[in-house]
Amino acid sequence: MSIERLAGLVRERKPCVVLTGAGVSTESGIPDFRSPGGLWAEFDPLEYGSIEAFRADPAKVWRFYAPRFSVLTEAEPNDAHRALAALERAGHVHAVVTQNIDLLHERAGSRDVIEVHGSIRTSTCPGCGERYELARVLELLADAPVPACPACGGVLKPDVVFFGELLPQEAIDRAFALAASAGLLLVVGSALEVHPVAGLPYETLNAGGAVAIVNRGPTAFDSRATLKLDGSAGETLAALVRALRIPR
């Protein structure tokens, strides 16, 4: 019944903008770094995940980061990513705003993806500013524990937002504009605890739109949401695709 209600909201409250968080990618085997027991509970993000740490000792950060980097690049899109791509193709989803850096939405076929925390698509040399595609960075990582810029020898930094770094302003502006224009903001796999993304549902609500949430466990916005479904992102979105009778 609740899937039918969600399908009804998607049909009636267009455009639908989707906001995804780590919960969408955990089903692809990518751990949620911020969860209790996750990476940042075990390791101090200031020592390994911050821009200050990277500037002070990029090799140390890469030794820590490289194994996680390969988990990200070897992961495959799951049912949730595929369902969102199918919903976009069918005209039900306008755009996907994501906190994830893993490129899985794009690899599943989503076309309009706004990456508010950056992504692993490219890495940039802080020395000379040269930018390298992921495939090239993986080649460099295969040869050395730390990817050095072939042009100047500087240690490359992935174009993901580290702690203490500013978010990409263009992506943030677009995310807020999309949230304000949304008839429905569908939040999937995010506890809505990380700012400024946590502010997006308020943007939608204040502009007269509705918010629906699919997440395992509570979120900061549950009491204000029109609909909350507690469950797996993959199963729930696959059921939504079936309820809307969309070809996969």
Among 81, 94, 105, 117, the one annotated catalytic: 117
Regarding 15 and contact with Zn ion (CB under 5 A), the answer is no
In the bound complex, what is the minimum distance in angstroms from residue 164's beta carbon to Zn ion?
Answer: 22
Question: In this chain, which of 41, 59, 144, 152 binds Zn ion, going by CB under 5 A?
Answer: 152
> b or e along 136-153 (b: 16 or more beta carbons within 10 Å of the residue's beta carbon)?
ebeebbeeeebbbbeeee
Residue 219 near residue 53, CB atoms below 8 Å: no
Q: In what order do the strands lie in the sheet with 113-115?
A: 113-115, 93-98, 16-20, 184-188, 210-214, 227-229
| 81 part of the active site | no
Question: In this chain, which of 61, 104, 149, 233 binds Zn ion, going by CB under 5 A?
Answer: 149
H or E stretch at 60: helix 58-74
Strands of 69-156, DSSP E: 93-98, 113-115, 118-124, 131-133
Distance, in Å, from the CA atom of 168 to the CA atom of 233, rounded to the nearest integer, reads 26
For Zn ion, give the closer residue by CB, 151 or 207: 151
For Zn ion, give the closer residue by CB, 108 or 156: 156
For Zn ion, give the closer residue by CB, 6 or 149: 149
| Residue window 119-138: x/- pattern of binding to Zn ion, with contact defined by CB under 5 A | ------x-xx-x--------
Straight-line distance from the first to the last Cα atom of the chain, in angstroms, rounded to the nearest whole number: 21
For Zn ion, give the closer residue by CB, 129 or 218: 129
In a 13 Å sphere around the CA of 153, the CA atoms on its Cβ side amount to 0
In a 13 Å sphere around the CA of 247, the CA atoms on its Cβ side amount to 1
Site for Zn ion in 153-192 (CB under 5 A): 154
In the bound complex, what is the minimum distance in angstroms from residue 155's beta carbon to Zn ion?
Answer: 9
Question: In this chain, which of 41, 144, 151, 177 binds Zn ion, going by CB under 5 A?
Answer: 151
For Zn ion, give the closer residue by CB, 109 or 127: 127
Distance, in Å, from the CA atom of 26 to the CA atom of 233, rounded to the nearest integer, reads 9
Among the residue ranges 88-96, 102-110, 148-156, 187-195, the one whose residues contact Zn ion (CB under 5 A): 148-156
Q: From its phi and psi, is residue 91 left (phi > 0), alpha (psi between -120 and 50) or beta? A: left
Site for Zn ion in 85-114 (CB under 5 A): none
Contact residues toward Zn ion (CB under 5 A) are: 125, 127-128, 130, 149, 151-152, 154
Active site residues: 117
